[in-house]
Amino acid sequence: MTRSNIIAFFHRAGWGVNAVENDEIQTNCPECGYGNFYFNLSKLVGFCHKAKCKYHYTPPTLEDLEERVGFGPNDFGGYRIDRSGVDEDYPPRNFPTVELPGVPVIEMIGGIPHTRYPAVVDYLRNRHLSQQDIIRFKLSYDGTRVYVPVYQGENLVNYVGRDLTNKEKKKYLYSPGAKTSEWIFGWDECKDWERLTLVENTFVSISFRNRIQCSTNFGSSLSDAQIIMISKSDIITVAILWDENTHRAANKAVRKLYDHGVRACYALIPGQPDDHDREKIVEIAERCHQEALKSEKKFIDPWGIARSKYQQDRKERMKVERRT
Ligand SMILES: [Zn+2]
């Protein structure tokens, strides 16, 4: 059982988590509702500061609290998730020195947004990014590329620069020296989610972030560093919505996540999520999360791609057989 499992347990039990400091989480008291209930993550015992409360003079153990709600930190809808085998530490992190090129696409002056580059805003709008998204994620522009900064805590650790001229050799540019595969976009927010939906593209992830808990791993494979990050977080299920051609990579990522106590499922999607009806994608993500929790099924195939591919392969094979 990991710390994050226990913290998630307090969330799921409905007591809320007001603060986590060192080895203690502060929540609302399960017995009296008072906001100064402290639970020690090493000793696994709680204590209510209200003198009249039962949990003041009889400090409850984790088992007491489990009994109270009828489930424990490892139980999810009848399924047990145990990450006690995960003892790997975060990989050692060298925070690269990254400077974000360009200037803000939209700048706030005296609380009012000023659009510097309307054409860039139009491009982003076509990709379903709102003005608020542009401000919130601090997008910048240097005359050639629009940049999305990647932060880990206070540190700028990378950026994704998309060429808007269509003349550059590289469509996407990352910060020199940054290990792109070691980060997950907007991780400080994602790590507290229960569900994480991963897409390949940064713009797509921002555009869906207001609807579902969506981020990007910057491509179509999950590195060990990213898997450890996820397994140490509060995230229970991961839905992977990469391009259909990444079948094998997605399957590998799902298996690795399972090995680390994280339930996962991927969907076979022709092309990228933004090629399709957005409501359908939201629905597919939802289905992935449900499947991840309830079965050993590793993927869903809303377009029947796996079957048609198989049939195509079979046809090809038969052609060859006939010829030879
Ligand atoms: Zn109490």
Output the CA 31–ligand 1 centroid distance in Å.
5
Same domain, 109 and 219: no
SS3 state of residue 237 = strand
Q: Is residue 117 part of a domain?
A: yes
d(C-alpha 319, C-alpha 133), whole Å: 52
Q: Is residue 92 part of a domain?
A: no
Confidence of residue 312 (pLDDT cuts 50, 70, 90): low
- What pLDDT, in 10s, does the model give residues 173-197? 999 988 899 899 999 899 888 899 9
Confidence of residue 81 (pLDDT cuts 50, 70, 90): low
Neighbours of ion ligand 1 (CB under 5 A): 29, 31-32, 34, 48, 50, 53, 55
Contact between residue 230 and residue 236 where contact means Cβ atoms under 8 Å apart: no
Output the CA 32–ligand 1 centroid distance in Å.
4
Output the CA 84–ligand 1 centroid distance in Å.
30
SS3 state of residue 190 = helix
Contact between residue 230 and residue 196 where contact means Cβ atoms under 8 Å apart: yes
**Nearest-5° angle of CA 282, CA 250, CA 2?**
85
Question: What pLDDT shows up at residue 125?
Answer: 96
Domain count, the chain: 3
Least confident of 231-245, 255-269, 301-315: 301-315
How much is the mean pLDDT over the chain?
Answer: 89
- What pLDDT, in 10s, does the model give residues 223-260? 998 998 898 887 889 999 998 888 899 999 999 998 88
- Range of the structural domain that residue 156 is part of: 103-178
Locate 90 and state its tokens.
Answer: 């975060």
Which neighbouring-strand residues pair with 279?
none
Question: What pLDDT shows up at residue 82?
Answer: 66
Inter-CA distances, 206 with 47, 203, 242, 280, 284, Å:
41, 5, 15, 17, 17
Q: Is residue 84 part of a domain?
A: no
Helices (H), the chain: 3-12, 54-57, 62-69, 118-126, 131-136, 187-190, 202-209, 224-231, 247-259, 278-294, 305-323
